[in-house]
């Protein structure tokens, strides 16, 4: 760490940058925004590409709202300089995210059920993002065996969510945690990220493992207790004391 802070080109400094700075810098930003109650900004072509989750219509809508905001707030900068401020782009992303989330309730038969699921799973992901120890950076996906769900209504609701791209299945199976078996992994459509102030990146590593009972709870009117879904220190299989670990070691 000292070599890195002193801008020395040593092997230790490079390793520190890769392991801690590059790995955690976005996670730290989300954490700081959470602590100081600042809204995360979502802007740039690349960010909009991620947020649209491969859906062209969502990308066009993000751009349309950005241009509309820019024309309303600073038409001169838009027309004469070709610039759209970060704030206008962020407002477009947030507004688009909220609008898309509101559209979920219009899904035939299962709109209300899926809407409750998205609201709750999004807040669980937000809880991971505000973990002061950053044990699981940028968690925004979950693992579930949908085909094994015995309640057919729950199974149909989940498959409807996939059909309408509310949740998106990963192409290959992954582990929800290093010690877990390979499973199907699902990500919340990234367009909802601004609504929950979470990362639009899917880094892997940790996924929220959901069983049938938990899926039923997340789709019900039952009040959500986020703490039930975030592992406590005593639940971790790592035998090392979490209280003795430092996020940024010397």
pLDDT per residue over 6-33, tens digit each?
778 888 878 777 766 677 778 888 888 8
Q: In the structure encoding, which two tokens stand for residue 93, read together?
A: 């992303």
> Which DSSP string do the residues of 203-250 spell out, in sequence order?
--S--EE--HHHHHHHTSSSPP-GGGGS--GGG-S--S-GGG--SS--
Residue ranges per domain, the chain?
Answer: 1-38, 39-228
pLDDT digits (tens, 9 = 90+) for 182-233: 788 999 999 999 999 999 987 766 789 999 999 999 999 999 998 899 877 5
Q: In the structure encoding, which two tokens stand for residue 246, read together?
A: 């430092």
Per the document, the length of the chain is 250
- Distance from C-alpha of 149 to C-alpha of 211, rounded to nearest angstrom: 8
Scan for tokens 């979490």, then name that residue. 242
Burial class (CB in 10 A: 0-12, 13-18, 19+), 104: buried
pTM greater than the 0.85 cutoff = no
pLDDT at 176: 66
The better pLDDT of the pair 248, 217 is held by 217
pLDDT above 60: residue 243? no
Which of helix, strand or coil describes residue 3?
A: helix
DSSP category for residue 140: -
Scan for tokens 């590059």, then name that residue. 22
Q: In the structure encoding, which two tokens stand for residue 108, read together?
A: 């035939």
Q: Which of 30-34, 140-144, 162-166, 170-174 has the lowest mean pLDDT?
A: 170-174
């Amino acid at each position: 760490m000292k070599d890195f802070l002193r801008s020395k080109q040593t092997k230790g400094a490079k390793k520190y940058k890769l392991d801690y700075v590059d790995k955690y810098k976005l996670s730290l930003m989300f954490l700081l925004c959470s602590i100081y109650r600042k809204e995360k900004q979502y802007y740039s072509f690349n960010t909009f590409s991620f947020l649209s989750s491969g859906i062209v219509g969502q990308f066009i809508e993000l751009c349309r709202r950005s241009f509309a905001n820019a024309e309303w707030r600073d038409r001169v900068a838009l027309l004469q300089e070709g610039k759209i401020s970060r704030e206008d782009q962020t407002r477009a992303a947030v507004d688009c995210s909220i609008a898309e989330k509101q559209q979920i309730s219009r899904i035939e038969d299962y709109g209300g059920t899926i809407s409750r699921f998205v609201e709750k799973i999004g807040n669980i992901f937000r809880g991971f993002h505000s973990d002061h120890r950053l044990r699981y950076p940028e968690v925004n996906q979950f693992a579930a065996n949908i085909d094994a769900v015995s309640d057919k209504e729950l199974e149909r609701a989940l498959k409807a969510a996939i059909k309408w791209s509310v949740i998106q299945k990963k192409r290959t199976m992954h582990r929800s945690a290093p010690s877990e078996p390979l499973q199907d992994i699902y990500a919340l459509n990234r367009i909802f990220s601004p609504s929950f102030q979470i990362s639009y990146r899917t880094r892997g590593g940790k996924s929220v493992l959901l069983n049938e009972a938990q899926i039923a709870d997340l789709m019900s009117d039952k009040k959500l207790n986020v703490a039930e879904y975030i592992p406590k220190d005593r639940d971790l299989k790592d035998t090392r004391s979490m209280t003795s670990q430092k996020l940024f070691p010397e």
